Every structure is written in C-alpha cells, then in structure tokens.
Amino acid sequence: MPKAFFLKPFFFLYRIFFRKLRGFSKSVSSNSHATSLSSSQSKNQKSFGSFHSQRSNLTNQTLIVFDVEGALLKASCLFNYFMLVAFEAGGFVRALVLFLLWPIIFLVGDKIGLKIMVMVCFFGVKKDSFRVGTAVLPKFFLEDVGLEAFEVLQRGAKKIAVSKLPQVMIESFLKDYLEIDMVVGKELKVFGGYFLGIMEEEENRNIVSPLLEELELGGHDSMAFDTIGISASNEFRYHQLFSYCKEVYLVADSDKRSWKNLPRDRYPKKLVFHDGRLALTPTPLETLAILMWAPLGIAVAIFRIIVGISLPYDVSFPLLGFSGLQLTVGAPKLRKQTPPMDKPRGVLYVCNHRTLLDPLYLCFALKKNLHAVTYSLSKMSEILSPIKTVRLTRNRHQDGKMMEKLLNQGDVVVCPEGTTCREPYLLRFSPLFSEISDEIIPIAITTHVSMFHGTTAGGLKCLDPLFFTMNPSPIYTIQLLEKVSGLSTCRDGDRSSFDVANYVQGEIGKALGFESTKLTRRDKYLILAGNEGISSKCTI
C-alpha cells in the first residue's frame, strides 16, 4: 500500500508527459514525411540492404557521405559514450549526476537529451587537457562498428562522416582508426580555455565550401566524384553535405540488428593503446551496477591490500581467493635449484607487464619473495609493496650494476617492456636483462578485469592497485616458461643481447597468443597522455 501511494504521482505525471511527447513526435514525423516526399522527387532514395549487396559496384571515383550514429555504429543509445566522458574527464560526481538525469534524458527525446548530456559532461572541462576523445573513446567506438557498414565504406575512394556528436569525441576515432577523410561534428563553445557545454548550431558554420575545395569536387554541377549518402533517418538528408548526393540510402533498424561487430583483425589501424578506468561499456544498467558496487568495492580492495601486504603467503593466498581474487599458475613448473655455496646467485625472471602488481603475483605463484626492478613506480606503491622494489635510472651502466648486485642477493623479477599494455600486444623488450644473467626464466602474464582497469597513462598511478583490486573477481594467469640462456650466449657471440630479448619476447607472445611490436613506453605516453611519460602526479 505505501509503495503504491508513492508510485501513483509518478505514473500520473508520466502519462501527462508521455501524451505531450507522443503528440509532438507525431507532428514532427508528419512534417518530416511531407518534406521527404517533396524532396524524393530530386533524390533517388534506396534501402541500405540493396546497396550493401551491390557494394562491389563502387569505384575509385565514389565519395560516400554517411551518418556516423545511424549508418556506422550499431548502438542506438549515445548515453554510453557520454558516460565515458563524464567519468573519465569529469570524475565520479559528474558521472553520478549524468546517471540521475538519465530518466529525463530518455523522456525528452534525442535532440534535447543530447544537449543535456553535452552540458553535464563538458561544462567546465579544460579544452587543452581533454584527451578522452583520443585515448578512451576509440576503443568503445571500434567495438560498436558494424561490419557490413564498414565493408561499404572501405569501397569508397573518399569518405565524409557527419555526426551530431561533438567533434572532440569522434574525430580521432574516425580519422586515426577508420581512415575517414573528413569528419563533420558539432563544435563546442569555449570560454577562457574551458568548454561551456553548449554546441554551436550547424547552420552558423560554413562547412561545405572548405570540404569540397579540399576534396576537389569542382562544384555542384561538375563533380569529380560520384557522391552517395548513407543515413538512418531523413533528418541528415537536409544536412548541407547530403544535398550534394546523387543517391541516398537509408539504413533500417532491421539492417542494424543483423549487423556483425567489426573483428579486431579488420581494424584499419591496430588498437594497441587505450586509457581510462572503465573496462566495460557503461550502459545505464551497467552504470547502475558500478555505482552500487563502488562503495563495497573500495572496502573489498582495502581488505585485499591489507591481507596481501601483511600476512604470509600461505595465509594470505587462501584469504584472497575467498575474497574473489583468482590466481592461476601454468606449467611447466620450475625445478628447485641450489646455487653454488661459493657464489650464490639468483634467478632472473623476465615477464611482460600487465599491472603494477605483476611482481607481487609472481611472488604468490612461487610462494617466495623476489626483488623487483622497475623503470617507474609511484611513492604509494613503493611504500605499500611487501617486497623490495628498486627503481632503475635508465642509465644502462648503472642499471646493469644494480641488477647484478640484486642477483647476488637473491632472485629478481624485471618487466623489460618498461610500461603496461592492456591489449594482446607486447611492446619492445629492452635487452639489458639478457646481459645480466645466464639463467633467465620467461614469465607470461595475462589478466582479466570486469569493471575497472588497474593501469592508467593520464591518471593517478598510485591508485592503480586500488582500482584493480576493486574488481569483483579479478583474474591473474601466470605461465612459467622454459629457461633461456642469456649472458653466456651474448659473451660467446652466438647471439646478441637484442636477439635474446627478441627471443624471450617471442616465446612469451606465443604462450599468450599476443602479437609482438616495436612500440615503446615513449610511444604509449605520446599517444595517450601527450607526453613522454614524465608526470608529477604520484610519480609515474
């Protein structure tokens, strides 16, 4: 009875509001239908399904103008992308405000809802520091691209993308990863270097002439290209660029439902690096799950960290497993070797780098303490680490002497990539480790998270362990590979240190199914953070 009492006012207001919206949508649809009938006399409008089956007819003189949201992306809801902007660029509070406004955004319709989301996500965000569009969103956009739409676009000689989203959200994804020639999105108003959360009206922007001149179309009557348009609605047909199309193909909802996702191996440019804390697409339902889990997740993370740094391995390992943290150790198992008594020397473990917790999890797998050498480590992680960690100076001679000293004291673990990589790729291995020890054990590491990434390039590195352990059930998988000889083969001249490093990289790559690259830590930070990996935020 009390529940019904509180729900009655809500449903009463909803019925009134819904009737208004229904009447408004009917008037808009009738007006647009009448306009489309008049314009159809000058446009040859066809279905996208028939066009996709005849895409081989496209030539190297075909220019495609397409609607990004309706003719490329499978999802019809833009809330997911704005939630990424709100969370990654604005923080938890801004994301919470956007989520609380979601019912209103849903009810008011696409146009007004878009303006609300832009205002919430961008108001007060500094323009120069906004990197979500280049570092975070491309991954989620690529996962939402329809394969059939992509195949059509690939056949065009030139492609122009038209979007109702802000330019800063879509430009990098379309130009850098899908090789789209031109991107026409909405510009955001800026004051004092900060976004105002208001989009410029398209009618006030003279966008047609510069685009046509750059693509050398030669004017409306004597085009050098056969221009076609692809859209999901008649709304975009009245965009200035669509007026130059000889034919316009409309994508139906049934077409999009049958689309497949673009496979990773079909990406025009490999997605090796991406940033951001969220590991899942924040739909309204997923966002609700994140917001509900976050308080409990922080408590669970603190419990896991305290247990991991304060208790012996035999005690902490079962407790961490009980809390949902999983660790799998793969074969072959290492044989225990007793070093000579006259000159004890440790084993050098060489692993790929997934999170800052890699050395600690290797200690759990081996059930013994190791010395960890790293190129970068936050002060917080250094203080909380239960094992000895030593920073390398990037001076080859000094670092070599330091690693040799540590090996004389015991076993050492090193991550020669120098930085973490989330995707199934391996960065270039620094060859220094191969010149230090003749007993090298390659370690293949992979992780799985369901909510939060435990790595960042542009955020606070000191929070990486916290975010990783906040996941409900994070998984670490460690494979111990066969021993590799390094020092002796380099001294004998059989193989260079680079050959040994590349061999170890290749063995780890084969064990994980990862692709080896020549990319470095510097490449990662230039792409994601716009710097070379030097930051004052918790010392990266």
pLDDT tens, position by position, 68-114: 998 999 988 899 999 999 999 999 999 999 999 999 999 998 899 99
Q: Which of 110, 95, 454 is nearest to 284 (CA)?
A: 95
Q: Flag whether 279 is in a domain.
A: no
Kindly state whether residues 88 and 145 are assigned to the same domain.
Answer: yes
**For residues 536 and 540, what is the distance between their CA atoms, to the nearest angstrom?**
7
Q: Would you state the structure tokens that stand for residue 271, as one six-digit string?
A: 């997605």
Residues in the chain: 540
**Do 165 and 288 sit in the same domain of this protein?**
no
The tens digit of pLDDT for each residue in 282-307 reads 999 999 999 999 999 999 999 999 99
Tell me how many domains the chain contains. 2
Predicted local distance difference test score (pLDDT) of residue 462: 84
**Statement: residue 371 has pLDDT above 60:** yes
Q: What integer pLDDT is reported at residue 5 of this predicted model?
A: 43
Per-residue DSSP letter, 176: I
pLDDT, position 225: 67
Domain residues for the domain of 348 are 284-333+344-529
**Could you give the CA distance from residue 23 to residue 29 in angstroms, rounded to a whole number?**
10
Residue 164 covered by a domain: yes
Query: Which one of 221, 240, 266 terminates a domain?
Result: 266
CA distance 358 to 377: 12
Same domain, 97 and 138: yes
Name the burial class of residue 534, with classes exposed (0-12), middle (13-18) and buried (19+) by CB atoms within 10 angstroms of its CB. Answer: exposed
| 12 in a structural domain | no
Q: At CA 219, angle to CA 233 and CA 49, rounded to 5? A: 30
- Say if residue 196 is in the same domain as residue 304: no
Confidence of residue 435 (pLDDT cuts 50, 70, 90): confident
The angle at the Cα of 507, spanning 505 to 512, to the nearest 5 degrees, equals 95
6 located within any domain: no
32 assigned to some structural domain:
no
Same domain assignment for residues 238 and 314: no
Say how many Å lie between the first and final Cα of the chain, rounded: 57
Please give the model's pTM, rounded to 2 decimal places: 0.85
**Which residue, 325, 455, 310, 444, is CA-closest to 384?**
310
Q: Which of 537, 363, 335 is nearest to 456 (CA)?
A: 537
Same domain, 456 and 500: yes
Check whether residue 99 and residue 182 sit in a common domain.
yes
Note the Cα 523 to chain centre separation in Å.
Answer: 16
Q: Are residues 350 and 236 in the same domain?
A: no
Domain membership flag for residue 144:
yes
Which residues, at least 6 apart from 254, have a Cβ–Cβ distance to it below 8 Å? none
| CATH number of the domain residue 257 falls in | 3.40.50
State CA 533 to chain mean position distance: 18
Query: Quick one: 376 and 515 in the same domain?
Result: yes
Residues 6+ apart with CB under 8 A from 327: 317, 320, 321, 361, 364, 365, 475, 476, 477, 478
Give the number of other CB atoms < 10 A from CB of residue 226.
16
How does pLDDT run across 339-348, given as a tens digit for each residue?
444 556 789 9
DSSP letters spanning 375-390: S---HHHHHH-SS-EE
Condensed to tens digits (0 to 9), the pLDDT of residues 110-144 reads: 899 999 999 999 999 999 999 999 999 999 999 99
**Can you give the pLDDT at residue 34?**
35
9-26, pLDDT tens digit by residue?
444 444 544 444 444 444
The reply to whether 254 and 292 lie within a common domain is no
Q: Bridge-partner residues for 161, per DSSP?
A: 66, 183
- Segment 179-207 mean pLDDT: 84
Percentage of residues of the chain with pLDDT beyond 70:
76
For the segment 455-477, what is each residue's pLDDT rounded down to a tens digit?
A: 999 888 889 999 999 999 999 99
- Report the chain's mean pLDDT, rounded to a whole number: 82
Residue 17 domain-assigned? no
The 10 Å Cβ neighbour count of residue 148 is 19
Return the H-helix or E-strand segment holding 489. Answer: helix 487-492
| Helix (H) or strand (E) run with residue 348 in it | strand 348-351
Q: Are residues 246 and 297 in the same domain?
A: no
Kindly report the CATH number assigned to the domain that includes residue 425: 3.40.1130
Q: Which long-range contacts (CB under 8 A, 24 or more apart) does 42-47 make?
A: 43/237, 43/245, 43/247, 43/248, 44/246, 44/247, 44/248, 45/247, 45/248, 45/249, 45/250, 46/247, 46/248, 46/249, 46/250, 47/249, 47/250, 47/252, 47/255
247 and 305 in a single domain? The answer is no
Whether residue 82 is contained in a domain is answered as yes
* Rounded mean pLDDT, 244-258: 85
